[in-house]
């Protein structure tokens, strides 16, 4: 694998804070009502995708790695991901890193989905997908949202804002290329 971007230790505690409102499982119906009004919905994380599918809502872009809290998910859930997202891009992304190829191609995937809002695309990560939320946030546009899991709390709904883009770009620029 070519050079990777490594998460600096100083950024770890900052990334543990949610970037948006956290919704509990009991509030998922409210989340779905909000999402149905958005032009593009991106989910990062297996548990988030499981929750969305259980509500019969399918994000335009789903990023997953087949694991939750570093343990493999139920194979039936993984099978359903591939069923509902037959168009799959695959990337290697070791824990604590971001693959620059993934970041560059993520932009192309998002632009494709903006032009074809009825399409769905899955991104399967061999490694860890958690940090992919950061480059997604850098690229969110008006009326687009990101969903990701906040361990032991629920699902974070992140909406586009100028402040969000500036903060996520600043965090991303602090990653170390090695």
Q: Which domain holds residue 31?
A: 5-100+107-177
Rounded CA separation 84/29 (Å) = 20
Residue-wise pLDDT for 8-23, tens only, equals: 999 999 999 999 999 9
Residue-wise pLDDT for 102-123, tens only, equals: 999 999 999 999 999 999 999 9
pTM: 0.96
Residue-wise pLDDT for 136-158, tens only, equals: 999 999 999 999 999 999 999 99
Token pair 């906040």: residue:
150
Answer yes or no: is pLDDT of 66 > 70: yes
Rounded CA separation 159/142 (Å) = 8
Span between the terminal Cα atoms of the chain, in Å? 11
Would you state the pLDDT for residue 1? 60
Number of domains in the chain: 1
Token pair 């604590």: residue:
96
Rounded CA separation 113/101 (Å) = 18
Token pair belonging to 13 = 């505690």
């Amino acid at each position: 694998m070519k050079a990777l971007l490594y998460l600096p230790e100083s950024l770890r505690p900052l990334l543990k804070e949610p970037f948006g409102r956290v919704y509990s499982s009991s509030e998922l119906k409210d989340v779905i009502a909000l999402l149905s009004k958005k032009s593009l919905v991106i989910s990062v994380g297996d548990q988030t995708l499981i929750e969305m599918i259980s509500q019969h809502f399918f994000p335009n872009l789903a990023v997953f790695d087949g694991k939750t809290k570093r343990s493999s998910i139920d194979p039936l859930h993984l099978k359903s991901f591939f069923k509902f997202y037959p168009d799959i891009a695959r990337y290697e992304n070791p824990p604590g890193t971001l693959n620059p190829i993934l970041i560059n191609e993520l932009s192309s995937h998002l632009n494709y989905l903006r032009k074809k809002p009825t399409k769905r695309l899955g991104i399967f990560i061999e490694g860890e997908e958690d940090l992919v939320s950061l480059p997604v946030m850098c690229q969110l546009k008006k009326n687009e949202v990101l969903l990701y899991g906040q361990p032991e709390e629920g699902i974070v709904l992140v909406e586009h804002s100028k402040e969000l883009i500036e903060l996520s770009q600043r965090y991303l620029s602090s990653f170390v290329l090695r």
